[in-house]
A and B are shown apart, each in its own frame.
Chain A
Amino acid sequence: AQKITQTQPGMFVQEKEAVTLDCTYDTSDPSYGLFWYKQPSSGEMIFLIYQGSYDQQNATEGRYSLNFQKARKSANLVISASQLGDSAMYFCAMRDDWRDDKIIFGKGTRLHILP
């Protein structure tokens, strides 16, 4: 069965510092996709970054990068130079390409950026 684990319920980080949000996953399928979403208090789900299981390089999108360690089944999100606006809930999610298009989410990490 698929499973996403985020072990950090909450984090406090000083503004301008880098932050790493942990995510591990479990799947028996060789083809899958990993996502990170940001959810501010308004509730909208903001797509941040995607990593495919066959991608050779770690995904990067601006200040966001995904530290993909396939053997360890880990897909940590790294936010460089954090900003006050980064304060939000962050979800790691996985999509199993061999089945339907549904994705499952981890429990999330609440990130607080301190001024």
Chain B
Amino acid sequence: GAVVSQHPSRVICKSGTSVKIECRSLDFQATTMFWYRQFPKQSLMLMATSNEGSKATYEQGVEKDKFLINHASLTLSTLTVTSAHPEDSSFYICSASKTGEAYTIYFGEGSWLTVV
């Protein structure tokens, strides 16, 4: 079946640095991918919609300059957390769906980000 792969699964970075998380659809093309953030014991909060070949659409309250999203190809979307701070430490997870399959949402494995 379709697989969405996310990398890295865990990353620790120093405060003030930037970190990039990749989300790949391995065997299908995804014109749209979604990025979620999840704090411990909380729900998934949609951060942004990543659109291939165009700018991402951010949800209200999400800083677009801090969370840079690039969807340069039909199989890859990247989320870059710029100038990371400890409060950015969280679980980030992406999802994608196949065109024409209304009920099939594939999630990546998620990325645990710790900013020290």
Binding site for B on A (CB under 8 A): 33, 35, 37, 43-45, 47, 50, 52, 91, 95, 97, 100-108, 110
Contact = CB atoms under 8 A, between A and B. Distances in A.
B53 to A, nearest CB: 15
A103 B107 CA distance: 12
A102 B103 contact: no
21 contacts: A37-B107, A43-B93, A43-B109, A44-B107, A44-B110, A45-B110, A47-B105, A47-B107, A52-B103, A95-B102, A95-B103, A95-B105, A100-B57, A101-B97, A102-B34, A102-B46, A102-B49, A104-B46, A105-B43, A105-B45, A106-B43
A43 B42 CA distance: 12
Interface residues of B, number: 22
B32 A105 contact: no
A37 B106 CA distance: 11
Interface in B28-52: 32, 34, 38, 41-46, 49
B93 A91 contact: no
A45 B107 CA distance: 6
Given A43-B93, A108-B43, A50 B110 contact: no
Nearest to A100: B49
B30 to A, nearest CB: 10
Contact of A43 (B34, B41, B91): B91
